[in-house]
């Protein structure tokens, strides 16, 4: 739309109107080829276990589709969590404001390509409770939930303003009480996360986290906390002034790749990949053959492309 407006002073109104109609019709047609899928990997989690979610927006058509900035923070991708009594679970998230350059068309999604966003539900959905705010931003109590997602193709500006909603199939998620072994592990992780908020123990936070993760990768790299600690856990370290140095970052990239490889079909694997490219893009390998044909591998392909062209087009 911005491009059309820019030309308005030089183009007769009737031609402009026809152009807008054709552009709108063309966009509507292309948007039909978008498919939004929510991946949770499994349907039951223990209370306090990170609930990883991957939102996949795929172009199943034969033409490139231009879409608004993709990601929960940009508001076009939206997820709603409801309880089985239909009440909406509160959500506190980041709201990022993207300003385009004049004539910006959007983010291109070529035929067969997809965009990925990963999250941990407790990063913003939930209530005050025993696991918040130190372990998670919000606490997700025992219960049954339904997760819905939609992507609004209405760009913040550009030619897509008359867009439409792309809806994902709702996903059911259950949170059950912890079993005994899960309780032990939950308490271990919670104690590590509490260290970041204890001034006397803050300096030991990063070392304790990395040590726990290394040990767990050696014994059980399918552990559900690993990707979370390597992403949100390090984010907290950065925030409280205890971020990793260069040597530790190499170590963390290797750990993320280990977790992504073992959990490559799960959103946790994709989350490990997203944190790798988000925190240390220059240290991530160009392509990892072990991730091919997996959710984590597909996410890696997208982030790899973003690394080559870091600026919005």
Partner 1 sequence: MTARTRVVRGQFGVRTNTRLAILVYSTVLGGCSSFVVGQPQGLDLITNSMEASAESVFVDTLIPQNPNLFYNVNRVFEGFASIEFAWYFPNYRLPRPNSQLPSDPWPDPNGFAPQQYLDYARVNRDTSQFGAFFVDHMATNPQAGTCAGFTGGLTPLPDPHTTPNSVFAAQNSRVSYVFLNDVDAVSIACGVTRENVLISVTTHELGHQRAGLTDADSFPQYHRGHVPQGRYDVMAYRSIQDLGRFNIPVFDFIDTIPHPNDTTSCQGNLYASRSFRF
Does 73 bind partner 1 (CB under 8 A)? Our answer is: yes
Report, in Å, the least distance between residue 181 CB and partner 1. 26
Q: How far apart are CA 68 and CA 84, in angstroms?
A: 32
Rule CB under 8 A: choose which of 238, 287, 290, 292 binds partner 1.
238
C-alpha angle with apex 60: 23 to 297, nearest 5 degrees?
Answer: 125
Contact 306, 277 (CB under 8 A): yes
Rule CB under 8 A: choose which of 51, 65, 67, 119 binds partner 1.
119
Which of 54, 61 has the CB closer to partner 1?
54
Binding mask 210-229 for partner 1 (x = CB under 8 A): --------------------
Which of 34, 230 has the CB closer to partner 1?
230
Q: How far apart are CA 28 and CA 30, in angstroms?
A: 6
Does 274 bind partner 1 (CB under 8 A)? Our answer is: yes
Chain-centroid distance, C-alpha 308: 19
Does 157 bind partner 1 (CB under 8 A)? Our answer is: yes
Q: How far apart are CA 180 and CA 194, in angstroms?
A: 21
Rule CB under 8 A: choose which of 24, 129, 143, 281 binds partner 1.
281
Question: CB-based contacts of 68: which residues, under 8 Å, 6+ apart?
Answer: 74, 76, 106, 107, 152, 153, 154, 155, 156, 158, 160, 163
Does 2 bind partner 1 (CB under 8 A)? Our answer is: yes
Stretch that binds partner 1, among 17-25, 84-92, 181-189, 257-265 (CB under 8 A): 84-92
Cis peptide leading into residue 86 (ω within 30°): no
Q: How far apart are CA 162 and CA 116, in angstroms?
A: 23
Does 153 bind partner 1 (CB under 8 A)? Our answer is: no
Does 95 bind partner 1 (CB under 8 A)? Our answer is: yes
CA neighbor of 259 nearest in space, from 69, 102, 52, 71:
52
Binding mask 22-61 for partner 1 (x = CB under 8 A): ----------------------------------------
Q: What are phi and psi of 242, to 5 degrees?
A: -120, 30
- Give the binding site for partner 1 (CB under 8 A): 2, 69, 71-75, 78, 80, 88, 90-104, 117-120, 123-124, 133, 137, 152, 154, 156-157, 161, 196, 231-232, 235-246, 249, 271, 274-275, 278-279, 281, 306, 310-313
């Amino acid at each position: 739309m911005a491009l059309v407006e820019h030309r308005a002073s030089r183009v007769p109104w009737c031609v402009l109107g026809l152009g807008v109609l054709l552009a709108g019709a063309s966009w509507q047609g292309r948007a039909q080829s978008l498919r939004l899928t929510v991946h949770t990997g499994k349907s039951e989690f223990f209370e306090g276990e990170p609930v990883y979610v991957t939102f996949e927006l795929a172009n199943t058509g034969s033409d490139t589709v231009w879409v608004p900035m993709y990601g929960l923070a940009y508001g076009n991708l939206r997820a709603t969590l409801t309880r089985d009594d239909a009440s909406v679970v509160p959500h506190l998230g980041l709201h990022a404001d993207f300003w385009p350059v004049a004539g910006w068309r959007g983010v291109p999604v070529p035929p067969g390509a997809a965009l990925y966003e990963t999250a941990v539900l407790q990063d913003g959905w939930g209530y005050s409770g025993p696991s918040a705010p130190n372990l998670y931003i919000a606490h997700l109590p025992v219960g049954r939930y339904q997760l819905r997602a939609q992507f609004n193709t209405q760009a913040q500006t550009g030619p897509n303003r008359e867009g439409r909603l792309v809806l994902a199939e709702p996903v059911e998620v259950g949170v059950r009480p912890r079993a005994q072994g899960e309780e032990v592990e939950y308490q271990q992780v919670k104690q590590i996360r509490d260290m970041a908020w204890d001034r006397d123990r803050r300096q030991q936070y990063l070392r304790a986290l990395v040590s726990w993760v290394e040990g767990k990768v050696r014994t059980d790299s399918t552990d559900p906390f690993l990707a979370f600690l390597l992403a949100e856990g390090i984010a907290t370290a950065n925030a409280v002034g205890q971020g990793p140095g260069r040597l530790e970052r190499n170590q963390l990239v290797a750990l993320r790749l280990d977790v992504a490889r073992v959990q490559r079909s799960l959103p946790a694997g994709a989350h490990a990949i997203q944190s790798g490219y988000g925190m240390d893009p220059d240290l991530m390998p160009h392509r990892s053959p072990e991730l091919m044909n997996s959710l984590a591998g597909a996410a890696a392909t997208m982030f790899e492309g973003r690394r080559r062209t870091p600026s919005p087009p």
